Amino acid sequence: MKKGISRARKESNVVPPTTTGTAGLSAGEVAARVEAGSTNVMPDFSSRSLWDIFRANVLTLFNAIVAGSFLLLLLLGQWRDALFGFAAASNALIGVIQEYRAKKSLDHLAVLNSPLARVLRDGAVRDIDVEGVVEDDVLVLRAGDQVTADALVLDAQGLEVDESLLTGESDPVGKEAGAEVLSGSSVVSGHGRAKVIRVGPASFASRLTAEAKRFSLVHSEIRAGLNRVLRWITVALLPIMAIVANAQMQQQGGWQQAIATGGWQTGAVGAVASIIAMIPLGLVLMTSVAFAVGAVRLARQKVLIQELAAVEGLARVDVLCLDKTGTLTLGRIAFDAAHHVGAAPPEDWARVLGWFGADPDANATAQCLASSFPNDDGAGPDSSVAFSSARKWSAASFPAQASTAGAWVLGAPEIVLDARDAGAVPVLEAAAVLAATGLRTLVLAHSATGSWTGQDEPVLPAGLAPAVLLTFREEVRPDAAQTLAYFRDQGVGLRIISGDDPRTVAAVAREVGLATDNGFDARQLPEDPESLACVMEDHTVFGRVTPAQKKAMVQALQRRGHVVAMTGDGVNDALALKEADIGIAMDSAAAATKAVSRLVLLDGRFDRLPSVVGEGRRVIANIERVSMLFLAKTAYAVILSVTFGAMLWAFPLLPRQFSATDGITIGIPAFFLALMPNSRRYHPGFLKRSLSFAVPAGLITALAILAINAYSLQLNIGTKEMRTASVIVLTLVALWVLVVLSRPLNRWRAIIIVAMYAALVLLLTLPPLRDFFDFEVLSLEHLTASVLAGLLGAIAVEVLFRFHRRSLNARPRALV
């Protein structure tokens, strides 16, 4: 790119030959188009405003209730009971940051990355900013340039354009006069001029960018499940709050007396305690922390996570769609083999191939010959013809005194050789067989006396005889076969999707270990979504796929219930990558492709994906375990709030006491559990599995607390003692929930559990802690009853866990 532009600066006063005679636009014509708005300025709209993000994450009924409770406690001077406010603020802040990061990636998305455009104006070539290009401008295109606006070719000499970023086809496309070139494509050989026909928002690059900028967050089953729980809690909060508030006021002698005596303040603290207890504030925070730590671990392996929940996503993937060029292959052609088919001595045609490979104007395919056929003697031809994709051949004529005397033509066998020639028939048949395996095939033919001189264009020399068949292949990534074998072993379905010929794609697929036929031609794909889904289920390899079809194919798989990951590196992959549950970009990907991807392999190592899957499994399995702790707490808080409210009992714990028990039974241990190794495979149904254990566990905990409170009321024990007894029972039962969910136990998990039991003892015995949390020393009888209630609750939790595990083992796809 830069090389092409710098060359233009040196030649800024040189106008290439033209068949049109145009001198480009005049200054006045340019000014008129600028005034009319026909410029190449791309629309600078934001994918989502910061206000929208802030409103979605902060200005919610859920946060309003939490913030109101927090402010009420501060106004009442009960700051020790308002510790939950920090967790709530952290949750909202993390949500804003995550979505803002995704927004910034999309806002910086660009398909065009050319620093300057080369245009013809007033008869002179000028370098201008891309945004300065106007409709009807004449672009001067040379090798290395990126096309900056959609244009119609006026004249061309060997002009070939790489459209792989747009279409997925790796072969350069020849462009003659009248052909269209799209913004975002690159010139790989030749030169020419093209008249701009679409600029700015109407150009191909802009339309693709606008579609890719559509805001979306990666689908996370964990996040979706937690959001569903939070919605349920939000709906339940107001009526439960009314029930609890009424009970608290009745404990103060009724509403009138509570308001008259100031007892409403004590009742308000109890009501807030019940509300905050129902909200799993730490679960959202812990989930985000686990995702973030996973992202940091993967960053050390050169894997960039652009959205935290993507760590989970790849662990759930059951279909992986792969682009061929740049993903399975390195995006370059490699020489495969030479097949001697003629009478010419190998040393002669090897010398000729050495020149073709060393030719500065050689295309990418011919350049592959340089390493296998060195140009040792440096002798060049008398004359030559550059390769043209329209002709599909190049040629060179060597002097009569050389051993390689005569005309040599390198090109497509079906073009170079005459099928009517009996000597050419077996060579053409051999070439067809090689091409059917996906190899690119060329023939080198020799004519002792022929000439390619024609009236207007070069023509094939007469008397061409084949000398050697040459085969080329795309260079496959060395790590591709091993990585795909891993996914097959893990039960992940594979789909190879490419814009290239289906036979070529199938050959690459076989090279990386996939058993397949000759591939499915996407030009025959049905448009009906259901029929398309059936084809996607039945076939593995697809060729001639357009960017729009790639997106539709991903959607078809998703409609069948699959969780789809898509890898790619071209702009043509951007829409499919964005639509997929997880988009994975290679290091060589275009800027637009990286912007819409959830993961970027920074070093281009395809074998990083298994470690990403492993990290995702660790995160998702540990979060599922932790979620059971938090949801069990929500369950017993709801049951306690409703039950105590209905019975007109004072709520059994203060907010600060709930904060203490949360820290011991959930917060601190959950932090460590969420970061520990865990290689369990994930299966759908996270929320159902979590609730099927958490709700019964919460019921057991609530019954144990109800029991000790009923016992305390019979003994006519004071409020502080009742709350202390409730904390003991709650902590003992909840700690056993932690024990069963930490299995299988290892040294570190055992240390954490023992430390939490020790923390409970310190909390109840150390005077500063006991006074801060408003605990009281219990009588021996009351303490014994509390411990006994806690132990009975722990036994019930053990029975529940064993039953729950057996029921999951009985289901064929349960996570155990």
Give residue-wise pLDDT tens across range 594-631: 766 788 887 878 888 888 887 777 777 778 888 888 88
Residue 138 is assigned to a structural domain of this protein: yes
Q: Are residues 673 and 796 in the same domain?
A: yes
Average confidence (pLDDT) over 150-173: 72
CB of 71 within 8 A of CB of 235?
no
**582-586: strand order across its sheet:** 303-305, 599-601, 582-586, 564-568, 319-323, 493-497, 541-543, 520-521
Q: Choose the final residue of a domain: 212, 232, 251.
A: 212
Residue type, 775: F
Q: Are residues 231 and 276 in the same domain?
A: yes
- Name 704's Cβ contacts closer than 8 Å, sequence gap at least 6: 729, 730, 733, 789, 790, 792, 793, 796
**How many angstroms separate the CA atoms of 364 and 334, rounded?**
9
3-state secondary structure of 667: helix
Residue 494 is assigned to a structural domain of this protein: yes
Closest by CA to 472, choosing from 171, 96, 785, is 171
Q: Are residues 204 and 150 in the same domain?
A: yes
**How many angstroms separate the CA atoms of 772 and 764, rounded?**
11
Q: Choose the final residue of a domain: 612, 647, 663.
A: 612
What pTM was estimated for this model as a whole? 0.61
Give residue-wise pLDDT tens across range 670-712: 777 776 766 666 666 778 888 899 999 999 999 999 999 999 8
Q: Are residues 785 and 675 in the same domain?
A: yes
Give residue-wise pLDDT tens across range 329-383: 877 788 989 998 888 888 889 989 998 888 877 777 888 898 889 887 666 788 8
Residue 442 is assigned to a structural domain of this protein: yes
**How many angstroms separate the CA atoms of 736 and 457, rounded?**
87
| pLDDT confidence of residue 18 | 37
Q: Are residues 309 and 418 in the same domain?
A: no
CB of 466 within 8 A of CB of 424?
yes
Residue 69 is assigned to a structural domain of this protein: no
| pLDDT confidence of residue 705 | 94
Residue 84 is assigned to a structural domain of this protein: no
CATH at residue 181? 2.70.150.10
**Residue numbers annotated as active site:** 323
Residue 97 is assigned to a structural domain of this protein: no
Residue whose pair of structure tokens reads 């190592």 in the numeric block: 605
Residue 502 tokens read as 């289906």
3-state secondary structure of 421: coil
Q: Are residues 769 and 788 in the same domain?
A: yes
Q: Are residues 376 and 275 in the same domain?
A: no
Q: Are residues 482 and 458 in the same domain?
A: no
* Number of CB atoms found within 10 A of residue 357's CB: 20
Average confidence (pLDDT) over 553-565: 91
Q: Are residues 606 and 631 in the same domain?
A: no
Average the pLDDT over each of 436-440, 750-754, 776-780 and give the range with the smallest value: 436-440
Written as one string, the DSSP assignment of 711-755 is HHHHTT--HHHHHHHHHHHHHHHHHHHHHHHTPSP-HHHHHHHHH
Residue 814 is assigned to a structural domain of this protein: no
Give residue-wise pLDDT tens across range 576-596: 887 888 888 877 776 657 766
CA dihedral 61, 66, 67, 70 (to 10 degrees): 160
Residue 47 is assigned to a structural domain of this protein: no
Closest by CA to 581, choosing from 684, 476, 486, is 684
Q: Are residues 341 and 432 in the same domain?
A: yes
| pLDDT confidence of residue 250 | 74
Q: Choose the final residue of a domain: 612, 631, 648.
A: 612
CATH at residue 386? 3.40.1110.10
CATH at residue 245? 1.20.1110.10
Q: Are residues 672 and 731 in the same domain?
A: yes
Q: Are residues 456 and 397 in the same domain?
A: yes
Domains identified in the chain, total number = 4
Label residue 400 by pLDDT band (50, 70, 90). Answer: confident
Domain span holding position 715: 220-287+617-809
Give residue-wise pLDDT tens across range 199-226: 877 777 666 655 554 545 556 677 777 7
